[in-house]
């Protein structure tokens, strides 16, 4: 188990002057469950490979429990890895595959056997341990890969790189929950790379959101939802994502582009750059009183309905309350406690 720290860490690939990973300082606590979340190309794999030792950063240091491991190999760092695609020995049984990392480390047979059966149980593989890996489907093979990553409890960290990519959609939910359960039982530092917010939010205690080579927020799933630190996080987390309305802010009042005034829950000093009001669709409802909007369409998402509206010509997603038909003169009611102000994409703190 390890506390992982990055000191002025940055990376650029040979032949490119641009940063694939912009300079950063960050700490991941021992035994935490972290997800690295962001769109394709934002630098997740680069950061993961720097943690595992597959890639040496161009600048800065990586520390495991205070020890500089920047120049150490994956093996010397003692990290386990699970990749997108199964890595299994076809000629071995499932049991032998799962026991392999333990045998390699000289774990006594009885302890190894117990550990393999425990992990197999958690992954739903108990009844099939003596089957040859060669005869298995992609789902089961990937479960073995996951099991091999999880079977040692003496590792500094377990790194997962989009581990559910090949898993059948209906099994994904089950495996996500099992991984979370496993982390509760074996509190090893786990780092899980994904571009899928559901996977990140189910698995992680702390989600590291990345955009264009930069960590834009590290927070609990609740914090990312309640207080996105950056407009990118607001857009990326939630479905639909947060709404942003261009505005001018003076004290505790925002004036929207069309001239409507909105009371804010706190006061703000002078704000530089592009100023926007942010609110999630969950806290903006179609109503009979409020800001006038035009409803373009209503989407039924099963448990809730989302009205796609326009406010002063700006597209906006709002909640259509249960049982309500779209009124003849639809209005938008904003929950004032849930309003946030952003200046040049960053959350403005405000006072009060």
Ligand X SMILES: Nc1ncnc2c1ncn2[C@@H]1O[C@H](COP(=O)(O)OP(=O)(O)OP(=O)(O)O)[C@@H](O)[C@H]1O
Interacting residue ranges for ligand X, rule: CB under 6 A = 13, 20, 38, 40-46, 195
Please, what is the minimum distance in Å from the beta carbon of residue 158 to ligand X? 18
Give the C-alpha distances (Å, rounded to integers) separating 107 from 27, 153, 208: 31, 11, 34
Q: Per the structure block, which two tokens stand in for 339?
A: 């309003």
In this complex, which beta carbon is closest to ligand X, that of residue 45 or of residue 243? 45
Please, what is the minimum distance in Å from the beta carbon of residue 233 to ligand X? 15
Enumerate residues 6+ apart whose C-beta is below 8 A from 217.
207, 208, 209, 223, 224, 228, 229, 230, 233
In this complex, which beta carbon is closest to ligand X, that of residue 13 or of residue 85? 13
In this complex, which beta carbon is closest to ligand X, that of residue 20 or of residue 125? 20
Of 336, 344, 311, 315, the residue nearest 254 (C-alpha): 336
In this complex, which beta carbon is closest to ligand X, that of residue 47 or of residue 285? 47
Please, what is the minimum distance in Å from the beta carbon of residue 43 to ligand X? 4
Please, what is the minimum distance in Å from the beta carbon of residue 346 to ligand X? 21
Give the C-alpha distances (Å, rounded to integers) separating 237 from 3, 88, 161, 226, 296: 27, 34, 20, 10, 23
Strand order, beta sheet including 314-320 = 291-292, 331-334, 284-287, 314-320, 305-311, 294-300
In this complex, which beta carbon is closest to ligand X, that of residue 23 or of residue 350? 23
Please, what is the minimum distance in Å from the beta carbon of residue 294 to ligand X? 37
């Amino acid at each position: 188990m390890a506390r992982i720290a990055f000191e002025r860490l940055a990376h650029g690939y040979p032949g490119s002057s641009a940063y694939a990973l912009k300079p950063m300082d960050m700490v991941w606590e021992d035994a935490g469950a972290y997800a690295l979340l962001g769109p394709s190309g934002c630098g997740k794999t680069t950061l993961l490979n720097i943690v595992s030792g597959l890639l040496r950063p161009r600048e800065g240091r990586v520390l495991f429990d205070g020890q500089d491991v920047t120049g150490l190999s994956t093996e010397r760092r003692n990290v386990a890895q699970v990749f997108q695609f199964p890595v299994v020995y076809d000629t071995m049984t499932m049991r032998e595959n799962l026991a392999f990392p333990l045998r390699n480390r000289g774990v006594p047979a009885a302890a190894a056997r117990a550990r393999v059966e425990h992990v197999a149980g958690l992954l739903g593989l108990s009844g099939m341990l003596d089957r040859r890996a060669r005869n298995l489907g992609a789902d089961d093979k990937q479960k073995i890969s996951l099991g091999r990553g999880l079977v040692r409890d003496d590792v500094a960290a377990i790194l997962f790189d989009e581990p559910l990519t090949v898993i059948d959609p209906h099994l994904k939910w089950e495996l996500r929950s099992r991984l979370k359960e496993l982390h509760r039982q074996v509190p090893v530092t786990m780092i899980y790379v994904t571009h899928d917010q559901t996977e990140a939010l189910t698995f992680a205690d702390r989600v590291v959101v990345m955009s264009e080579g930069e960590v834009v927020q590290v927070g609990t799933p609740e914090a990312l939802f309640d207080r996105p630190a950056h407009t990118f996080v607001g857009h990326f987390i939630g479905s639909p994502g947060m709404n942003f309305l261009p505005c001018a802010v003076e004290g505790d009042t925002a004036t929207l582009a069309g001239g409507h005034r909105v009371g804010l829950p706190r006061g703000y000093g002078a704000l530089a750059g592009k100023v926007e009001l942010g609110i999630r669709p969950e806290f903006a409802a179609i109503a009979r009183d409020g800001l006038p909007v035009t409803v373009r369409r209503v989407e039924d998402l099963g448990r809730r309905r989302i009205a796609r509206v326009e406010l002063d010509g700006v597209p906006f997603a709002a909640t259509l309350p249960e049982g309500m038909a779209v009124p003849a003169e639809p209005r938008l009611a904003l929950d004032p406690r849930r309003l946030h102000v952003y200046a040049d994409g960053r959350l403005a703190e405000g006072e009060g």
